[in-house]
Amino acid sequence: MNPSDILQLDRVVHERVRLAIMSMLAASPDLSFTEVRDALDLTDGNLMSHVRTLQEAGYLAVTKAYQEARPLTTLALTKAGREAFAAHIARLAAIVQHARPA
């Protein structure tokens, strides 16, 4: 295994819940806050804190709107977020690849 692969893992993306949020959003252009919360079995506060971390890193865009007078919060990965996610997957794949016997 190449030690540099581990050192290069993005701490923002690598955390379990944030990686799960980014995985869901990577497969869909956008998802509502409640869809992500229910799918990952999180509380509003827990999801919000991870959303904030991802937003501060520039990986996540949050849109607030109204649907029939009810608030609708939508989450989507930014371009930087998609790149960070792709890079993270490439590093995980590299770790698996390096561990294989030649």
Partner 1 sequence: MNERDARADLEAIRVLMERSALYRRTLAPTCLGLGALGLAAGAAHRFLPLETATAFALCWLATAVLGVGIAFWTSRRQAVREREAFWSPPARRVAESIAPPLAAGFLLSVPFLLGEDWARRVVWLLPALWMVLYGCALHAAGFFMHRGIRLLGWLYIAGGSGLLLWWTCPLNQFPPVAHAHLAMAIGFGLVHLAYGAYLVATERSRRA
| Interface residues toward partner 1, by CB under 8 A | 1, 6, 9, 19-20, 23-35, 39, 67-68, 70-74, 89, 92-93, 95-96, 98-99
Nearest residue to 12 via CA among 81, 77, 100: 81
Residue carrying the six token digits 């009810």: 70
User: Could you tell me the smallest distance in angstroms from the CB atom of residue 90 to partner 1?
Assistant: 11
What minimum distance in Å lies between the beta carbon of 91 and partner 1? 8
Closest to 49 measured CA to CA, from 8, 88, 15: 15
* Nearest distance, CB of residue 94 and partner 1, angstroms: 9
